[in-house]
Amino acid sequence: MAFCLSTNCFAQSQNQDYQSAIFNADGTVTFQYRNDKAKNVSVDVQFAGKNEMHKDANSGLWTVTVGPAEPDMYPYNFVVDGISIMDPKCEQYFPNEGFKNSLLEIPSKTDALPHDIKNVPHGKMDYINYYSKSLKYTNNAIVYLPPSYFKQSKKTYPVFYLISGTTDTEEVYYKVGRVNYILDNLIAQGKAKEMIVVLPYGNPNKLLPVMPQNGMPAMGFGVDVFSNDLINDLMPYIESHYRTINDRDNRAIGGFSRGGNQGLSNGLRNLDKFSYLCSYSSFTSTDIPNVYDDPATNSKINLFWAGVGTDDFLYGNARDYTEFLDQKGITCVKEYTHNKFGHTWMNAKYFLSKTLPLLFNKKAAQAAMAASQPTKAKTGAEQQFTPSVMARLFPRSIISPEYAADGVTFNFKAPDAQIVTLETELSDQPLSMTKDADGVWSVKVPGVSQIQFKYCFVVDGMKVADPNNMYLSPDKGFKYSISKAQLTDVADIEHGVVRYDYANHTAEYISAQSSGKTPTIYLIPGVNDTEESWFKCGNADEIADRFNKPIILKITSQAPKNASYILRASDYKTWQERTTALSEMMKKL
């Protein structure tokens, strides 16, 4: 499955000497970590904060017990001598542009959580690429297709555009928000309409070779690149490649945090296209022309829904925004939580479970709107999102990797470290890094700007993924960062689709030109690879797109006996060698 339970993430296997997380009968969790050289180790987990760990004299493990905690999914990381690292024992991680967290799933014993993976029909997740004229570059998104999509070939579906938060990637509403499993369960129970869900990437500027914001997350809405791409590029792509119902009564938009702001802004500016608006832990501008003072606005909106935690740092802004709507006579359903740790994905999942049953169901939406209550009264103690909060939460990051025509520079801040080196799959020997007056260690590697490869920093003997690089290798153990080759963009061509089957650890790429007699190449993952590795590390889908002919790529641990084309990752040392072999094989088809 896309999300492992405790038996998958943390259970011991033959090559493991300890469990990194143990679920105790009283609801507490015991964390364990091995590092013989560390002086201080803590675990930082969302339900308990940062807790100091102590080294056990017998086992040599750093350990601490925290909680109890309610069943849910929680981000966490270890802090080793001031350096934050993911749990090297856990396969599941939080996709993000910056911070690197592992995911702890405390399973429910009663299958009571909305996101539980139950024995019901499941939809499919398409990873898509499309050329964006707004970006003048290739963008990406993920598309959820409901269980009946491939069974009822003539059925058409409404569409929900669902956007993740600041620094999140397009994968977060899937791998952390679990929108697919929440919706699978609701559809099976007859509580939600079947729909297509589109997960865009909310900060597409970061995909460009030169990022204009100098490392800061995008925060402009309405006339920004994201909004232009959404309306002018992504939506037309979705409506031309999937069986969608293309009118305002069958389109919804929303999101979490910045994604909620983007969703509301674009929804309100385009009420001819959207009639269902959802804000999760967010708010938007009160200065959108021809909306708030238009007496017809209420009649154009089937559902306006806003949820936020009273302990969220955005609560004050979100409360003020819904109060503004009240004053303008615009109906909005409000939902408040008090026990989900503020600005968290526990809230985001909960809000999804509340709103998905209302989407594309006018009767249910109208009933919810009719029962809407006024905004909670102001107490004067509400938290507000200010520039200082912005600076604290999203400090200006170090740029790493830095690409230039003659090489790539890697940077890592560790003022107290004694020795930092760069480990890459391109060399058997680590590369020494030098420290500047600000405590930033750097090294420039010449001649690798157009080579994609795995790397990490080694800080006083400890491997650390690059905290400023959003691209992680989906390895089974320690997850390396990926230096993305600065190649010419694939440009305006028709792209294929990647689909993952996490339950069976397989994946498939189908080119846009595929037909009944399409040749198939079987790609076998390496020892520590997952079903994602050939695509995320090897760019196999991009290579196939450039091939621009009918082809299918199947990722599986064992190819059929009659397979004509097989590539085994274990036959090659680096991903550069593997991708070269794939390109050469395609030329022979």
Q: CATH number for the domain including 165?
A: 3.40.50.1820
Q: Does one domain contain both 472 and 518?
A: no
Question: In b/e form, how buried is each residue of 29-64, taking b as 16+ CB within 10 angstroms?
Answer: bebbbbbeebeebbbebbbbeeeebebeeeeebbbb
Which range has the worst mean pLDDT, 10-24, 302-316, 434-448, 545-559?
10-24
- pLDDT 10s digits, 247-302: 999 999 999 999 999 999 999 999 999 999 999 999 999 999 999 999 999 999 99
Q: Which residue did the predictor score with more confidence, 368 or 449? A: 368
In this predicted structure, what is the pLDDT of residue 6?
34
Of the candidates 71, 107, 105, the residue with the CA atom closest to the CA atom of residue 91: 105
Number of domains observed in the structure of the chain: 4
Q: Is residue 114 part of a domain?
A: no
Domain termination residue (choose one: 106, 140, 166): 106
Q: Does one domain contain both 441 and 511?
A: no
pLDDT of 221 higher than 80: no
In this predicted structure, what is the pLDDT of residue 557?
93
Confidence band for 210, pLDDT divided at 50, 70 and 90 = low
In this predicted structure, what is the pLDDT of residue 217?
46
Domain termination residue (choose one: 483, 511, 533): 483
- pLDDT 10s digits, 305-348: 999 999 999 999 999 999 999 999 999 999 999 988 889 999 99
In this predicted structure, what is the pLDDT of residue 340?
86
pLDDT of 166 higher than 90: no
3-class SS of residue 70:
coil
Rounded alpha-carbon distances, angstroms, from residue 554 to 354, 532, 559: 37, 11, 9
Q: Does one domain contain both 414 and 457?
A: yes
Q: Does one domain contain both 146 and 226?
A: yes
- pLDDT 10s digits, 40-75: 999 999 999 999 999 999 999 999 999 999 999 999
Q: Is the peptide bond before 68 cis (omega within 30 degrees of 0)?
A: yes
Q: Is residue 394 part of a domain?
A: no
H/E stretch holding 365: helix 362-370
Q: Does one domain contain both 549 and 409?
A: no
In this predicted structure, what is the pLDDT of residue 390?
65
Q: Does one domain contain both 82 and 147?
A: no
In this predicted structure, what is the pLDDT of residue 392?
67
Q: Does one domain contain both 97 and 133?
A: no
pLDDT of 382 higher than 80: no
> Do 160 and 187 form a contact (C-beta atoms < 8 A)?
no
Question: In b/e form, how buried is each residue of 429-460, taking b as 16+ CB within 10 angstroms?
Answer: ebbebebeeeebbbbbbeebbebbbbbbbbbb
The overall average pLDDT reported for the chain is: 90
Q: Does one domain contain both 454 and 554?
A: no
Domain termination residue (choose one: 348, 370, 392): 370
Instruction: Calculate ∠ Cα 581-92-337, nearest 5°.
Output: 140
In this predicted structure, what is the pLDDT of residue 15?
39
Q: Is residue 116 part of a domain?
A: no
Per the document, the length of the chain is: 589
Q: Which residue did the predictor score with more confidence, 425 or 9? A: 425
Q: Does one domain contain both 345 and 410?
A: no
pLDDT of 222 higher than 70: no
Average pLDDT over residues 194-210: 88
pLDDT of 223 higher than 90: no
Q: Does one domain contain both 130 and 256?
A: yes
Confidence band for 573, pLDDT divided at 50, 70 and 90 = very high
Q: Is residue 33 part of a domain?
A: yes
pLDDT of 515 higher than 90: no
> Do 44 and 103 form a contact (C-beta atoms < 8 A)?
no
Q: How far apart are CA 574 and CA 585, in angstroms?
A: 17
Which range has the worst mean pLDDT, 190-199, 458-467, 488-497, 542-551?
488-497
Q: Is residue 338 part of a domain?
A: yes
In this predicted structure, what is the pLDDT of residue 393?
65
Q: Is residue 57 part of a domain?
A: yes
In this predicted structure, what is the pLDDT of residue 3?
32
- The tokens for 468 are 């400023």
In this predicted structure, what is the pLDDT of residue 395?
66
pLDDT of 453 higher than 90: yes
> Do 231 and 265 form a contact (C-beta atoms < 8 A)?
no
pLDDT over 70 for what percent of the chain?
93
Q: Does one domain contain both 214 and 359?
A: yes
Confidence band for 9, pLDDT divided at 50, 70 and 90 = very low
Q: Is residue 68 part of a domain?
A: yes
pLDDT of 93 higher than 90: yes
Confidence band for 110, pLDDT divided at 50, 70 and 90 = confident
Average pLDDT over residues 560-565: 92
H/E stretch holding 347: helix 345-355
**Domain housing 231:** 124-370
Q: Is residue 378 part of a domain?
A: no
Q: Does one domain contain both 407 and 550?
A: no
Look up the CATH number of the domain holding residue 459. Answer: 2.60.40.10
In this predicted structure, what is the pLDDT of residue 216?
44
